[in-house]
Chain A
Amino acid sequence: MAELPGAGLATAQAAAPGTDPQIVVDPRKPYLDVDHLQIGLQRDGLPLHIVDTVTVSLLPGASLGIVGESGSGKTMLCRSFTGTLGRYGVGITGGRLSIAGHDLTNAREKDWRPIRGRAVGYVPQSSLAGLNPVLTVETQLLEALGLGSRTLTKAQARIEARQLLDMVKIPRADAVLHERSHQLSGGMRQRVMIAAALALRPPLLVLDEPTTALDVTVQYEILVLIRQLREELGMGLILVSHDLAVVEFLCSQVMTMYAGATVEIGASENIRSRPRHPYTNALLHSRLGMAERGKDLVAIPGESPAVGAWPEGCRFWPRCSSAADACRTGAQPAPRLVDGHLTACIRAEDVT
């Protein structure tokens, strides 16, 4: 089973023409603006935080990579950008989210429906399993194009579907339109998913782990495609990956997340050459490529804290080799500027 069958595809649904809210792309204003965002739910009558807090803003056409601990909230954050948190029983519990000139902090499904897919194109994690196995590629692209909810003739939509496949450079496009997902290789499936996300020409594309299941050659082809698409369409990009090399290839900015919080954010080269947070630093050093046979691989000691069990103070302290007394009390440190980028480590000047 996929995370949500056809999650990426079904999101694109437009309202009747004329009533569509405008998608505002103002080059001087952030297209995506996330301010102290919290995501969570009620568990046993108490609030449970999953993301707490993330602050980031992205100008139109800009790119941001998100890396970080498994379970740190990367996917939840992406879901908040597409108004799909409710499907997982969670919601925005604090802070502010605005996209394309709309404050979406308290938006409901009916507010999202006319915007979703037009404001943000989304390729969810696990999307290789996200295509519906019984429907043809064409049927799924037609759905993404909003056939049924937009005034679009079937003939016109078919032409657009075909154009989408050309956009993502799928060979044998005419044949592929009538194929089903199991007949396609992983790389081809990912291209179809990206095509569907582009259907309503969103100014921002959000990709959650788009290349994990692909081999290096196919991965490279997909990354090159994404880069070309951005150049051709002037589209912004948010890319979640646990592979820092992938992030650096496509994104000029990178954000590290740990236990629901932004712990570091800044220019990619800057963070790679001079990480200013011990967690990012440790992540950079646990590159597996340097593995020596017979010896243990380098992992960050200890376990990542589960949601609901974050320690007091800096959430990384139980695993941080530089932790001092001041790190163990109070709230999660707020990111502050050190050496040209933001870090949430109170001891950044001393320890990195």
Chain B
Amino acid sequence: MAGNLIEVTDLHVTYRTASTDVLAVRGLNLTVGAGQSTGIVGESGSGKSTVAKALVGLVPPTSGSIRIDGDLVAGERAKGYHRGSRWKVQMIFQDPYGSLDPRQQPLDAVLEAIQHWRKLSKAQARTEALDLLKSVGITERQATSGLRALSGGQRQRISIARALAPSPQVLVADEPTSSLDQSAQAAILNLLRRIQAERGLSVIFISHDLGLVRYLTEDVIVMKDGFVVEQGPTDQVLHHPTQEYTQRLIASALA
């Protein structure tokens, strides 16, 4: 299909460990157009983060293919991400403590993300980085202090700014705001929605919060044990689930 920013065909991912093979993703198909968003929900261990990591090239698919903006980035005969396309897909990780380099100043992390993918003068890049950080609620002082001096929520805001820095076309957000208080979550998600509308950003939104998934996405994928159990327009799937598993997921979310 033309016009799709993300096209995933029959994705399988297996982790090979010393003792066993974990079939983390077992057949997933997905298309997302520019400016559209798709949610992924499912119980812990169902394979959501693995899909996310495959999309950004952090884990190789065992079979199947991934196209980003028409480029085959993973799968048979894929060239992988090359310099020209890598910036197009950015990810916000689940864990604010694990995803930032403690030896690097937050501002430098964002600056690097800007300058690596776009040609800007140093001064321009710095202004842009500080603006971006400010929009997620991080002051210059905080941005130039050590990571150790920042709270869990502040770290997560920095990873959000860093992901947005290269002006990506696709944002893979894995529980992006679950470490923030309710008001901060609201502020950041409003920002994300604004950027999405302005730039036609496609978003993959992974969350345990079905209310937020309903609010933010047009389509949704329900996963269990690596399988897709249900997939379709978010309103339809979450209001009229056809699968028992989805029904249970919705029931436990409300309890």
Binding site for B on A (CB under 8 A): 1-3, 67-71, 75, 88-89, 125-126, 128-129, 183, 185-187, 209, 212-220, 242, 282-283, 286-293, 296-300, 303-304, 306, 308-309
Contact = CB atoms under 8 A, between A and B. Distances in A.
Interface string B184-214: 1111011001000000000000001101101
B233 interface: no
B248 to A, nearest CB: 9
Interface residues of B, number: 47
Interface in B50-102: 94-98, 102
24 contacts: A2-B97, A69-B181, A129-B95, A129-B97, A185-B45, A186-B44, A212-B178, A213-B178, A213-B179, A215-B43, A215-B208, A217-B44, A217-B252, A220-B255, A242-B180, A289-B211, A290-B211, A291-B212, A291-B214, A296-B193, A297-B185, A297-B187, A297-B215, A299-B186
A100 B95 CA distance: 34
Most chain A CB inside 10 Å of its own CB: which residue of B97, B148, B182, B184: B182
Contact of A242 (B150, B181, B193): B181
Nearest to B45: A185
A186 B17 CA distance: 18
Contacts of B214: 291, 293
Contacts of A297: 185-187, 189-190, 215
B214 to A, nearest CB: 7
- Name, among B152, B180, B185, B209, the residue most crowded by chain A CB atoms within 10 Å (CB to CB): B152
Contacts of A290: 211
Given A3-B97, A126-B96, A216 B208 contact: yes
B247 interface: no
A150 B161 CA distance: 47
A52 to B, nearest CB: 16
Nearest to A219: B208
Contacts of A303: 137
Given A185-B45, A220-B252, A306 B139 contact: yes
